[in-house]
């Protein structure tokens, strides 16, 4: 089993390059299924296990797909007749693969996808996705662990989402681009990844307006073509390095960082004592000597992102006072705190609120990542812990961070990725 070994002591200094956003490229890959002519070329695609997984799903649906990892480019030809089914072996490994349902329904009138289960951070139902498909005229059935959506012809409709779900917004948007007439989706997610998807779909020939606001309006078109698109930068990877800089009292430039995608995070970092400035080359974060406590509530964009919650809990533990952290997006996203307890964190959880006592430091320990962002948070905690920290379950980290340890090394951190088997053989020899 591989693990990451972290030793503290070094402030992070230098600059870091951020990849294309995982949460943007996954729906964009699914969107390539809509192109009935022409080739799709996706550039700035991050090299992540979730991306390989989505590529497998797309390939399984009878497309040609090629990932050039040297150039971060994925080429897709989806012009053949598509298959309709995304089987359990894929959906069970990555819930985000349900976002193929909308494009399949639009393109072929039939989508069959294994029912995604819950996951480490919550139950994560897909009722809003299905409600949207139904409003567009699809019939939904559920048998033997599969959800099926069928429609002879999708028709534009007015849809109100009870919650601004990111996945539901993307899935319904992609189902509606070829529906007859006008679709209006209200109370939609406003994340930058939604905006990137709309820009991409519009280049393909879709007619979408309002992405990034509370309401999206779509005029159906009859055909979409393959085009070239560069994936937007990963604001969560950028945010993770901002937190790492702040935690270590470092000075890091996030190359080409976009202030407007990270406003809620930046405002909290400043409140906690960090200096955050916009430069021509990106965003600079300078960590303070002493971090101040903060109150944070996660919310849909433009509120504070749930995907930055675990990393912020590290800063809160390092602060000089008690912080309050409320998680309102997912119902079970405090598991990383239990792991941080092994490293000396002190907190009390009541419902969806964690009261975190600033203990001004961590002790090195052996810990396990419980989800993707928890993996990054534990490594950041290790950067400032006394002694050695070993973080296990790197399969979570690899879903969303490319070469995380190498980027930290370049900033001066003492971080190694260790393959236990190799080490054991070397010791034996
Ligand atoms: C996406 C992101 C994930 C991020 C999350 C919230 C991707 C691949 N993943 O996940 O990193 O943490 O947005 O910003 O982009 N819900 C329902 N019914 C539904 C759909 C969602 O009740 O039909 C609930 C979920 O259980 C959850 C909340 O809505 O509590 C938010 O989920 P959603 O915005 O859909 O997140 P994802 O698209 O799954």
- Reported as a single tens digit per residue, the pLDDT across 125-136 is 899 999 999 999
3-state DSSP assignment of residue 365: coil
* Catalytic (active site) residue 184: no
Ligand 1 close to Cβ of residue 307 (< 6 A): yes
pTM above 0.75, yes or no: yes
Q: Going by CA atoms, what residue is nearest to atom 9 of ligand 1?
A: 23
- Ligand 1 centroid distance, CA of 249 (Å): 33
Best CA proximity match to 227, nearest among 44, 64, 39 = 39
Residue 219 tokens read as 């005029």
- Reported as a single tens digit per residue, the pLDDT across 18-49 is 999 999 999 999 999 999 999 999 999 999 99
- Ligand 1 centroid distance, CA of 426 (Å): 44
Q: Which residue would you say has higher pLDDT here, 148 or 360? A: 148
Q: What is the pLDDT of residue 422?
A: 59
| CATH topology match: 2-18+233-427 vs 22-218 | yes
Could you tell me which residues come within 8 angstroms of residue 48 by beta carbon, excluding any fewer than 6 positions away?
A: 19, 22, 398, 399, 400, 401, 402
| 327 in Cβ contact with 334 (< 8 Å) | yes
The closest-lying atom of ligand 1 relative to the alpha carbon of residue 301 is 14
CA distance 204 to 357: 50
407 is in an annotated binding site: no
329 is in an annotated binding site: yes
**Phi and psi torsions of 188, nearest 5°:** -85, 165
Q: What is the pLDDT of residue 10?
A: 82
**Phi and psi torsions of 347, nearest 5°:** -160, 165
127 is in an annotated binding site: yes
Catalytic one of 37, 59, 62, 119: 119
Q: What is the pLDDT of residue 115?
A: 83
Q: Supply the DSSP string of 53-83, one letter for each residue.
A: HHHHHHHHTT-EEEEETTTTEEEEE--SPPP
Query: Does residue 123 register a pLDDT over 90?
Result: no
Q: In which region does residue 282 sit, left (phi positive, over 0), alpha (psi from -120 to 50) or beta (all else)?
A: left
Ligand 1 close to Cβ of residue 168 (< 6 A): yes
Q: Going by CA atoms, what residue is nearest to atom 21 of ligand 1?
A: 165
- Ligand 1 centroid distance, CA of 412 (Å): 35
Q: Going by CA atoms, what residue is nearest to atom 38 of ligand 1?
A: 167
CA distance 230 to 200: 9
Could you tell me which residues come within 8 angstroms of residue 371 by beta carbon, excluding any fewer than 6 positions away?
A: 119, 120, 121, 310, 333, 335, 336, 396
Ligand 1 close to Cβ of residue 125 (< 6 A): yes
- The CATH number of the domain covering residues in 22-218: 3.65.10.10
What are the residue ranges spanned by the domains of the chain? 2-18+233-427, 22-218
Pick the CATH number of 2-18+233-427 from 3.40.50.1820, 3.30.70.20, 3.30.930.10, 3.65.10.10: 3.65.10.10
Total number of residues shown for the chain: 429
- Reported as a single tens digit per residue, the pLDDT across 327-366 is 999 988 899 999 999 999 999 999 999 999 999 899 999 9
Q: What is the pLDDT of residue 427?
A: 46
23 is in an annotated binding site: yes
Best CA proximity match to 156, nearest among 175, 128, 130 = 175
- Ligand 1 centroid distance, CA of 306 (Å): 10
Q: Going by CA atoms, what residue is nearest to atom 22 of ligand 1?
A: 125
CA distance 213 to 199: 14
């Amino acid at each position: 089993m591989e693990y990451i070994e972290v030793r503290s002591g070094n402030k992070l200094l230098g600059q870091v390059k951020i990849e294309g956003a995982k949460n943007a490229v996954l729906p964009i890959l699914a969107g390539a299924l809509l192109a009935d002519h022409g080739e799709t070329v996706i550039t700035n695609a991050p090299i992540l296990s979730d991306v390989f997984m989505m590529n497998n799903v797309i390939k399984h649906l009878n497309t040609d797909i090629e990932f050039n990892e040297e150039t971060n480019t994925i080429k897709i030809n989806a012009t053949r007749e598509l298959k309709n089914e995304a089987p359990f072996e894929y959906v069970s490994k990555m819930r985000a693969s349900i976002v193929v349902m909308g494009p399949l329904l639009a393109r072929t009138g039939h989508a069959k996808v294994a029912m995604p289960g819950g996951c480490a951070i919550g139950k994560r139902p897909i009722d809003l996705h299905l409600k949207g498909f139904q409003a567009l005229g699809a019939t939904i059935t559920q048998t033997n662990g599969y959800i099926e959506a069928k429609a002879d012809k999708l028709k534009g409709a007015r849809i109100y989402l009870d919650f601004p779900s990111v996945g539901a917004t993307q899935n319904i948007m992609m189902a509606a681009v070829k529906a007859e007439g006008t679709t209006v989706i209200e109370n939609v997610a406003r994340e930058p990844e939604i905006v990137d998807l709309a820009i991409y779909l519009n280049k393909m020939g879709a007619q979408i307006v309002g992405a990034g606001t509370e309401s999206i309006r779509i005029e159906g078109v009859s055909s979409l073509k393959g085009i070239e698109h560069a994936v937007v930068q990963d604001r969560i990877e950028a945010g993770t390095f901002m937190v790492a800089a702040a935690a270590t009292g470092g000075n890091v430039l996030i190359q080409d960082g976009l202030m407007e995608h990270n406003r809620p995070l930046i405002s909290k970092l400043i409140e906690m004592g960090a200096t955050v400035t916009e430069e021509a080359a990106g965003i600079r974060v300078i960590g303070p000597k002493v971090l101040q406590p903060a109150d944070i509530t996660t919310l849909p964009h433009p509120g504070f992102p749930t995907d930055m919650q675990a990393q912020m809990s590290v800063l809160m533990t390092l602060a000089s006072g008690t912080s309050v952290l409320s998680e309102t997006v997912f119902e079970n996203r405090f598991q990383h705190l239990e792991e941080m307890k092994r490293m000396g964190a002190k907190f009390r959880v009541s419902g969806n609120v964690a009261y975190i006592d600033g203990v001004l430091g961590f002790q090195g320990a052996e810990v396990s990542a419980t989800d993707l962002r928890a993996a990054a948070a534990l490594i950041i905690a290790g950067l400032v812990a006394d002694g050695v920290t070993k973080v296990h379950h790197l399969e979570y980290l690899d879903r969303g961070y490319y070469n995380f340890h190498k980027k930290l090394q370049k900033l001066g951190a003492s971080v190694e990725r260790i393959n236990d088997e190799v080490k054991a053989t070397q010791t034996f020899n």
